[in-house]
Copies of this chain bind each other. A is one copy, B any other.
Amino acid sequence: MENFQFQCATKIIFGRDTENLVGEELKNHTKKVLLHYGSGSIKKTGLYDKIIKSLNDAGITYVELSGVVPNPRAELVYEGIELCKKEGIKFILAVGGGSVIDSAKAIAAGYYYEGDFWDQFEGKSQVEKALPIATILTLPAAGSEASPASVVSKGNRKLAIMADCLRPVFSILNPELTFTLPAYQTAAGVTDMMAHIFERYFTNTKNVDVTDKLCEAVLRSIIKNAKIVLKEEKNYDARAEIMWAGTLAHNGLLGTGRVEDWATHRIEHELSAFYDITHGAGLAIIFPAWMKYTYKQDMNKFIQFAIEVWGIPGNDEETALAGIAATKEFFRKIGMPIAISELNLDVKEEDMQKMAEYATKFGELGSFVKLGSKEVFDIYKLAE
């Protein structure tokens, strides 16, 4: 096991009707918030009205900034930073999925940064201070509700920042808010959270027994409950399992004491930056290809994966490959694309070359297996 430091201070408020607690909870921190959300679906579902009532009841004033899109854009972040400064806002309430929360985090970090906030995403400056944020989660997927990370796009660049000060002060998770999620978004969310665990599970760090078993436990639970929610969209308990699993998949716990990988996320980020596809769908395409490309690095780990996660018996290469095939088949069954060709986009070989170069612009990717632009290109080809 590697030495590590771990602190996830985010307060989780989980369960039915918990969105109504937002005003009272905010009172411990602020009197005014930036209310940040997406396209307005929260108005259709009635969530918006509940939040406004809770804010009013608690005497919290708010300024709205809506319009966050999937793969959130830098343009709105600039706007958010200006708005917070102009209105004297020192706290952001993000209502939505990972895109809204990531956008809020970028505003929070950019608020205190003197230059162009995008510098931080380009790695020119570390995030050291940020406005506090809170979230009401409507889409279990990105894990941003308790993570220190934010991913934002500008042009066709999709980059990330990470800092403990970006972890939300509190996050409200009501599984009922996910009853109306379309099957495709539910499945993409499931894929995203599984990918967050894969990035930690496949490591060269030896003797990480507790976290190995925790990873397998959360994966098995996601797999089991994903099948249920895709059939019974209003099954509270299964939705609750998926929602809590999504947070645990990415709050850092499952990576304690181990070197994480994250090559696949970078490889996928280029795909979704170039073609604006759903992140989870991109991961469903790339992860099985990455597994196939790297499994010989540690056959035993892939055999363990097949046995413990997918319940496939055996102890040889065939078992390892069956585990990878089961992963791909699961993604297919839940309605995800599993090949670039299924996206019906005209992805040319020269685009793959370009994406591979962009992905490795800051150096080789991953740690389980180090990947240069040639290897990344090969993985795009494997995923074709």
State the A residues within 8 Å of B (CB).
Answer: 1-16, 18, 170, 206-207, 209-211, 213-214, 216-218, 220-221, 224-225, 236-238, 240-241, 244-245, 248, 253, 256-257
Contact assessment for A256 and B14 in the assembled complex, using a CB-CB cutoff below 8 Å? yes
Q: Count identical subunits in the complex.
A: 2
Q: From residue A245, how far is it (CB to closest CB) to chain B in Å?
A: 5
Chain B: which residue is nearest A7 at the CB level? B11
Contact assessment for A240 and B207 in the assembled complex, using a CB-CB cutoff below 8 Å? yes
* Known contacts A218-B214, A240-B257; is-contact A7 B7 (Cβ 8 Å): no
Which one of B2, B15, B209 contacts A3 once the chains associate, using CB atoms below 8 Å? B15
Contact assessment for B210 and A221 in the assembled complex, using a CB-CB cutoff below 8 Å? yes
Contact assessment for A10 and B7 in the assembled complex, using a CB-CB cutoff below 8 Å? yes
* Known contacts A1-B241, A12-B6, A244-B256; is-contact A210 B206 (Cβ 8 Å): no
Instruction: Please indicate the chain B residues that have their CB under 8 angstroms from the CB of A8 in the complex.
Output: 8
Q: A7-B9, A207-B240, A244-B257 are in contact. List 13 more A-B contacts (CB 8 A).
A: A6-B11, A7-B10, A7-B12, A15-B257, A207-B241, A209-B225, A210-B221, A210-B244, A210-B245, A213-B217, A213-B220, A214-B217, A253-B253
Contact assessment for B240 and A1 in the assembled complex, using a CB-CB cutoff below 8 Å? yes
Instruction: Please indicate the chain B residues that have their CB under 8 angstroms from the CB of A15 in the complex.
Output: 1-4, 257
Instruction: Please indicate the chain B residues that have their CB under 8 angstroms from the CB of A9 in the complex.
Output: 7, 9
Q: From residue A29, how far is it (CB to closest CB) to chain B in Å?
A: 14
Docked Cα-Cα span, A58 to B18, in Å, equals: 44
Q: From residue A215, how far is it (CB to closest CB) to chain B in Å?
A: 9
Instruction: Please indicate the chain B residues that have their CB under 8 angstroms from the CB of A2 in the complex.
Output: 15
Q: From residue A163, how far is it (CB to closest CB) to chain B in Å?
A: 15
Contact assessment for B5 and A14 in the assembled complex, using a CB-CB cutoff below 8 Å? yes
What are 10 of the A-B contact pairs (CB < 8 Å)?
A3-B16, A3-B18, A14-B257, A210-B218, A210-B221, A213-B220, A214-B217, A240-B257, A244-B256, A253-B253
